[in-house]
Amino acid sequence: MSTRILGIESSCDETAAAVVADGREILSSVVASQMDIHRKYGGVVPELASREHLRQIVPVVREALAQAGLSFSDIDAIGVTQGPGLIGSLLVGMTYGNVPVNHLEGHVHAVFLEAHIERRTPALPAVCLIVSGGHTLLYYVEAKPGASSTLSPLEKNAGSTFTLNASSEARSPRIDGNQASCGFQFRRLGGTRDDAAGEAYDKVARLLALGYPGGPVIDQLATRATACGPAVSGAGSTWSPPEKDELHFGPVKIKGNSYDFSFSGIKTAVLYYLRAHPEFNAEIETRREALLQGCRKAADLLPLCSPQVLALISNFQSAVVNDLVTRTLAAASETGARTILVSGGVAANSALRETFQSRAATKGVNVFFPSRGLSTDNAAMIAAAAYSHLKAGDIASSDLNAEPNLRIA
Ligand code: ADP
Ligand code: MG
């Protein structure tokens, strides 16, 4: 019989519960987002977040069990995010669980859950980029010792650990379909020195009055920059600055570890640019009013954006995406990893996905993303990670506590 784990995630602004069988079959996944509550503050307010988790946790867990057609007595273990995250939020989930999971490790399992759905197997070692509103981290990921020697019966019969396919994914030693169930070990390569990439999206969206969270709207509007060009009408602004006045971002310079990131400079450049160009104020005010009326979709905001703002958004996104992709590919090349795993809310970004796919393909590297739903915080990834801990006998002692600054490496 399968091992069924209830996962609970409450590290930040999503209250989530999910049931996953054998670390890879998602039986249910429920996410209650607090976006509507934090929106008016332009970011997550910790005190409000923990109160909302308290309100949501019981109905969300009930819903996850109901959707899986199970009751508590059918559950073998409860995996829960121990950290990193907001202490008050983490504590709400921690009251439920007996298998502590690192949230970041969960994001890596999200990639494997998705790969399993697609019947693919990411070859390890890999370089993993975790990129969200709270994190921008780069790790070298290997299977825990022992995991990679397990061949699937199919491959044992074939008498070879290598397949003949030409892609690097297939050239790598194939590991049994559930290598993630044995867990991973991590080496930290770098991380952001200031803002996380998602935070930069959210802050720039705030400066431009594009709503919260900023990522999804900027993602969609950026694609309209060249498509619309000067043809956009009714943009609340008839002013058009000369092109040389457009804000362009050079590569982010980092002293020391070249796998570190920094996004606060890009955000500040947008701030100073807007200060130097009060011509944008009118359309920003128009969009602010539209947001207050509940017009938050990219399609609602597009007619309220001048071509210059769309160009600005597109340039901002290109700068962030290029930086993330360039540093991650360099890390893969230097470590010899032929696989890149990308996870976290910003992994949902279409430009990031396209840029990774096209640039990695030229280097013979395979890139894996979770679906959009598994990219942002969810509990299926926590249940999947808990399975590997459960198998290793790594369950909670009675003094288990939330760890706001928990690391994986
Ligand atoms: P956290 O809770 O740590 O912020 P999540 O994994 O829930 O992390 O991700 C939320 C973040 O992801 C937000 O900063 C949001 O703006 C960003 N995000 C979500 N979708 C996109 C997207 N399509 N493009 C860019 N950023 C995105
Ligand atoms: Mg979140």
Q: From the CB of 106, is ligand 1 less than 6 Å away?
A: no
pLDDT at 198 over 60: yes
Q: From the CB of 261, is ligand 1 less than 6 Å away?
A: no
Which residue has the least CA distance to atom 9 on ligand 1? 345
pLDDT at 403 over 80: yes
Mean pLDDT lowest among 177-181, 332-336, 391-395: 177-181
Which residue has the least CA distance to atom 26 on ligand 1? 215
Ligand with the closest atom to the CA of 216: 1
Q: From the CB of 314, is ligand 1 less than 6 Å away?
A: no
- Mean pLDDT of all residues in 373-393: 95
Could you tell me the distance, in angstroms and rounded to a whole number, from the CA of residue 15 to the centre of ligand 2?
Answer: 9
Could you tell me the distance, in angstroms and rounded to a whole number, from the CA of residue 335 to the centre of ligand 2?
Answer: 30
Strands (DSSP E) contained in 199-357 are 339-343
Q: From the CB of 376, is ligand 1 less than 6 Å away?
A: yes
Could you tell me the distance, in angstroms and rounded to a whole number, from the CA of residue 325 to the centre of ligand 2?
Answer: 22
- Supply the pLDDT for residue 400: 84
pLDDT level of residue 231 (50, 70, 90 thresholds):
very low
Residue of 14, 131, 132 to test ligand 1 pocket, by largest number of atoms within 8 Å of CB: 132
Percent residues over pLDDT 70 in the chain: 87
Helices (H), 336-376: 350-361, 372-375
pLDDT at 194 over 90: yes
User: pLDDT tens, 343-355?
Assistant: 999 999 999 999 9
Mean pLDDT lowest among 46-50, 255-259, 391-395, 405-409: 391-395
- Supply the pLDDT for residue 234: 36
Strands (DSSP E) contained in 104-194 are 126-131, 136-143, 184-191
Percent residues over pLDDT 90 in the chain: 78
Q: From the CB of 213, is ligand 1 less than 6 Å away?
A: yes
pLDDT at 130 over 60: yes
pLDDT at 77 over 50: yes
pLDDT level of residue 244 (50, 70, 90 thresholds):
low
User: pLDDT tens, 271-285?
Assistant: 999 999 999 999 999
CA 10 to chain centre: 15
Ligand with the closest atom to the CA of 197: 1
Mean pLDDT lowest among 84-93, 172-181, 215-224, 286-295: 172-181
Q: From the CB of 84, is ligand 1 less than 6 Å away?
A: no
- Mean pLDDT of all residues in 378-382: 98
Could you tell me the distance, in angstroms and rounded to a whole number, from the CA of residue 13 to the centre of ligand 2?
Answer: 5
pTM: 0.89
With CA atoms as reference, report the closest residue to 330 among 262, 263, 258. Answer: 258
- Mean pLDDT of all residues in 22-40: 94
pLDDT at 164 over 90: no
Cis peptide before 84 (omega within 30 of 0): yes
Residues 6+ apart with CB under 8 A from 312: 208, 246, 247, 270, 273
User: pLDDT tens, 296-319?
Assistant: 999 999 999 999 999 999 999 999
pLDDT level of residue 156 (50, 70, 90 thresholds):
very low
- Supply the pLDDT for residue 239: 45
More confident residue, 156 or 289: 289
pLDDT level of residue 136 (50, 70, 90 thresholds):
very high
pLDDT at 236 over 90: no
Residues 6+ apart with CB under 8 A from 44: 12, 13, 34, 38, 86, 133
Q: From the CB of 370, is ligand 1 less than 6 Å away?
A: no
pLDDT level of residue 229 (50, 70, 90 thresholds):
very low
- Supply the pLDDT for residue 228: 44
Tokens 């600055």 found at: 241
DSSP bridge partners of 33:
14
Could you tell me the distance, in angstroms and rounded to a whole number, from the CA of residue 345 to the centre of ligand 2?
Answer: 7
Q: From the CB of 349, is ligand 1 less than 6 Å away?
A: yes
Average pLDDT, the chain: 88
Could you tell me the distance, in angstroms and rounded to a whole number, from the CA of residue 35 to the centre of ligand 1?
Answer: 11
- Supply the pLDDT for residue 147: 59
DSSP bridge partners of 367:
340
pLDDT at 377 over 50: yes
Ligand with the closest atom to the CA of 199: 1
DSSP bridge partners of 343:
130
Could you tell me the distance, in angstroms and rounded to a whole number, from the CA of residue 133 to the centre of ligand 2?
Answer: 7
DSSP bridge partners of 127:
140, 340
Can you state the angle between helices 307-335 and 214-222, rounded to 10 degrees?
Answer: 100
CA 295 to chain centre: 25
Distance CA 52, CA 34 (A): 7
Distance CA 77, CA 393 (A): 11
Q: From the CB of 219, is ligand 1 less than 6 Å away?
A: yes
pLDDT level of residue 370 (50, 70, 90 thresholds):
very high
- Mean pLDDT of all residues in 30-55: 93
Which residue has the least CA distance to atom 21 on ligand 1? 215
- Mean pLDDT of all residues in 198-222: 97
Largest CA distance in the chain: 70
- Mean pLDDT of all residues in 210-221: 96
Ligand with the closest atom to the CA of 373: 1
Q: Which atom of ligand 1 is nearest to the CA of 214?
A: 16
Q: From the CB of 345, is ligand 1 less than 6 Å away?
A: yes
Q: From the CB of 132, is ligand 1 less than 6 Å away?
A: yes
Which residue has the least CA distance to atom 15 on ligand 1? 215
Cβ atoms < 10 Å from Cβ of 276: 11
pLDDT at 260 over 90: yes
